[in-house]
Amino acid sequence: MLNLKKKWLASLLILTLTPQLAWSAELNTGNTAWILTSTALVLFMTLPGLSLFYGGLVRSKNVLSVLMQCFSITCVVSLLWLAGVYSFIFADGGVAQKFIGGASKMFMPDLGVANLTGDIPESVFFMFQMTFAIITPALIVGAFAERMKFSAMLWFSGLWLVIVYMPICHWIWGGGWLADMGVRDFAGGIVIHVNAGVAALVSALVLGHRKGFPAVAMPPHNMTMVVTGAGMLWVGWFGFNGGSALKADGSAGMAVLVTHIAAAAGSLTWMIIEWKRFNRPSVLGIVTGMVAGLGTITPASGFVGPVGGFVIGVVAGTVCFYATQYVKRVLVVDDSLDVFPVHGVGGIVGSLLTGVFSAKELGGLGLNEGVSVVQQVGVQAVAIIVTVIWSALFTFVILKAVEKMVGLRVSPDEEQEGLDIVLHEETGYHKL
């Protein structure tokens, strides 16, 4: 009896001295560490990865404007995420749950260190998902680079996040109606790449060509910046796809593996096609093929095996190369940095192939019980079509509304002078 009393007192003392013990048994510190790391990697993709990648691709007179856009979007989206975007995606929406989340998590009033999402702190999940929301409108910047007003860009990005990104993200990742259908989008092929790609195409069409396009050559002003940014994107994508497992386990490891394989396959495929067609392998081509491979594997990364990753990478390099040529040369659409043919087309192709290469017979991790490849591809197609329609329609509406409020484009003379001087009174480079 005395020994039992001593044990009880010892247990009480431990609980008193370590108040977090009551919930730490449910917290997985390994998973938490991995998602914290992944969060940093995904933000690294936007700042500085995408900033340098896009900044190097534009002309020198517009480099600062692109860097400023990526930086300011990060700030705007972060505050909107806290104000309610996160809540309306991931909080319980009650009777409206199939279509939108609830308001209970606006400004996160009850967030504490003990709040868990699964077995990681909700603060970590909140931040991880925020980085996805940041990079999505930042991708669209590439479509209207070198000609949109800074004020218009801010209004567009904020409204687009709320009206377009928020509902689509809820439908697929927040327990909405597309999730109920069984759509597979591991890390954002539909939510991010199809969504942003379609918005980019609509933006390019609404704003029109840059002055001189397509007759005047507009090559990247700094390929060193482009390759540096591309390398950061490749590394950061491990957090993008691997972190989406929300665990430090085999599924995260497989996601990272197939991501790397697809990036390598997409790069070399694009390079070889370009080499045969234009008699030279370009640096711009190999890094664009990498981005195509990464974007295309994104929806499939947690569902397919290495062979699936390789095939998806080869398909990405091929399809996105020809899509880029078609949009620029045949349709003559001035999607400045090829956002739609790389991210939009890549996201569509990858999302459809997710339904194919998820099958165990093709080296994948398996489809849900009773679901065939044809059925899964059908579900993927429905989600893609819904996203294309919603994104195209409301992107157009937002652009027209912003045009009425503040105007969309700088004047032809201002565009000729360059957005760095006109909008920010600064230059990226000083002549000695």
Q: Could you tell me the pLDDT band of residue 23, with boundaries at 50, 70 and 90? A: very low
Residue 143: what residue type? Answer: A
Answer yes or no: is 13 within a domain.
no
Report how far residue 326's alpha carbon sits from residue 356's, in angstroms, rounded to the nearest whole number: 26
* 252 has pLDDT over 90: yes
Whether 429 is in a domain gets the answer: no
Burial of 199-238, coded b for 16+ CB within 10 Å and e otherwise, reads bbbbbbbbbeebeebeeeebebbbbebbbbbbebbbebbb
Is residue 131, in this structure, part of any structural domain at all? yes
Q: Does pLDDT of 1 surpass 90?
A: no
Q: Does the pLDDT of residue 203 top 50, yes or no?
A: yes
Q: Are the beta carbons of 255 and 302 closer than 8 angstroms? A: yes
Gap between the Cα atoms of 399 and 152, Å rounded = 9
The pLDDT of residue 238 is above 90 = yes
* pTM as predicted: 0.92
Using the predicted structure, report yes or no on whether residue 17 has a pLDDT greater than 90.
no
Range of the domain at 54: 26-424
Q: What is the domain-level CATH number for residue 39?
A: 1.10.3430.10
Query: Does pLDDT of 121 surpass 80?
Result: yes
Residue 209 inside a domain? The answer is: yes
> Domain for residue 431, yes or no?
no
Statement: residue 24 has pLDDT above 90: no
- Joined tokens for residue 343: 């991210």
Report the pLDDT value the prediction gives residue 432, as an integer from 0 to 100: 66
Note whether residue 14 is domain-resident. no
Determine the Cα–Cα distance for residues 249 and 242; give it in Å rounded to an integer: 9
The answer to the question of residue 17 being in a domain is no
- Can you tell me the mean pLDDT for 150-172? 98
Choice among 19-28, 40-49, 67-76, 147-156 with the minimum mean pLDDT = 19-28
As a whole-number percent, the residues of the chain with pLDDT over 90 amount to 92
Mean pLDDT value of segment 339-351: 98
When divided into structural domains, the chain yields a total of 1
The 10s digit of each residue's pLDDT in 266-278 is 999 999 999 999 9
Does 173 reside within a domain? yes
Q: Which residue has better confidence, 13 or 80? A: 80
- Number of separate helices (H) and strands (E) present in the chain: 20, 2
